[in-house]
Amino acid sequence: MPLETILLLFSIGLVGGVWNAMAGGATLFTFPALMAVGLPSLVANATNYLAMLPSNLSALPAYRQELREIGHRVWPLMACSGLGAICGSLLLTVSDPKLFDALIPFLILFATGLFAFGDLLRARAIRHFGDHASQTLARIALFAFSIYGGYFGAGLGIILLAMVQIMGFATFHMANSLKNLLAASFTILSIGVFGIGGLIAWPEAAAMMVGSTIGGYMGGRCAKYVNERYLRIAVIAFGVLLSGVYFYRMGNA
């Protein structure tokens, strides 16, 4: 692998690690970077899971207090998301690459919309179904969206962040701590499926992993000092922009 490719992937991994730890959604640009260096879309998607795993793991120490407050409530959520991730990852291994390529802009836009309107969805669910029923529906939705996440890595952090906010973890930093934990456990399971399926480009993953490890640690320490409103706006704006780019490319293919 050329040195310039290594440096590019390291740099993107570094920025992606910071972004993932602070807000989620870094895959919206790490995934295109892997495609830009020549990886097919399915391989880029699978490789991205491994490349960005350290960004979630290395952010966890900064959220020790939030995770202690969540406590045992995390286990049912990890079970729901983990089972969905395995189903989605298995689906990806047998997917038609052309169909996957055609779905990319829709999937990115969907992920961005869910993040943007997560609070509104939770409020309406509670109003129509009550808090207990809405929690049950949210767990079912987490399983369903985890199938999506296992199938398509881009937007995974945004989806998980939105889902845990819908479930009632309303403060941004508590939601972000749970998002990082779920994403880490979720990703480990998907990597196992993709590794067995032969979809991971290991050299490219290693170059990006080094950067995402450093970035994840930095982002986890800095996240609490950044205004969460600005983080949300930045994630939403970037998701809309990237979905537009992919719609444009699809229309001119």
Among 101-110, 123-132, 163-172, 227-236, where is mean pLDDT lowest?
123-132
| Total structural domains within the chain | 1
Q: What is the pLDDT of residue 205?
A: 93
Q: What is the pLDDT of residue 209?
A: 92
Q: What is the pLDDT of residue 139?
A: 80
φ and ψ at 24, to 5 degrees? 100, 155
What pLDDT, in 10s, does the model give residues 10-22? 999 999 888 877 7
Q: Provide the percentage of residues in the chain whose pLDDT is more than 90.
A: 12
Cα distances (angstroms) measured from residue 129 to each of 79, 114, 140: 23, 19, 14
Q: The tokens 């286990």 sit on which residue?
A: 75
Give the DSSP letter string of 96-140.
-HHHHHHHHHHHHHHHHHHHHTHHHHHHHHHHHH-HHHHHHHHHH
∠ Cα 55 215 148 (to 5°): 35
Q: Which residue has the higher pLDDT, 224 or 144?
A: 144
Q: Provide the percentage of residues in the chain whose pLDDT is more than 70.
A: 87
Between CA 74 and CA 179 the distance in angstroms is: 10
Q: Which residue has the higher pLDDT, 183 or 205?
A: 205
Q: Which residues contact 119 (CB under 8 A, 6 or more apart)?
A: 165, 166, 170
Q: Are 121 and 167 in contact (CB under 8 A)?
A: no
Boundaries of domain holding 207: 3-251
Q: What is the pLDDT of residue 73?
A: 82
Q: Which residue has the higher pLDDT, 13 or 121?
A: 13
Q: What is the pLDDT of residue 155?
A: 63
What pLDDT, in 10s, does the model give residues 25-73? 677 778 889 999 999 988 998 898 888 888 777 777 777 888 888 888 8
Global pTM reads: 0.73
Among 1-15, 93-107, 132-146, where is mean pLDDT lowest?
132-146
Between CA 218 and CA 52 the distance in angstroms is: 14
Q: Are 248 and 106 in contact (CB under 8 A)?
A: no
The total of other beta-carbon atoms located within 10 Å of residue 141's CB is 21
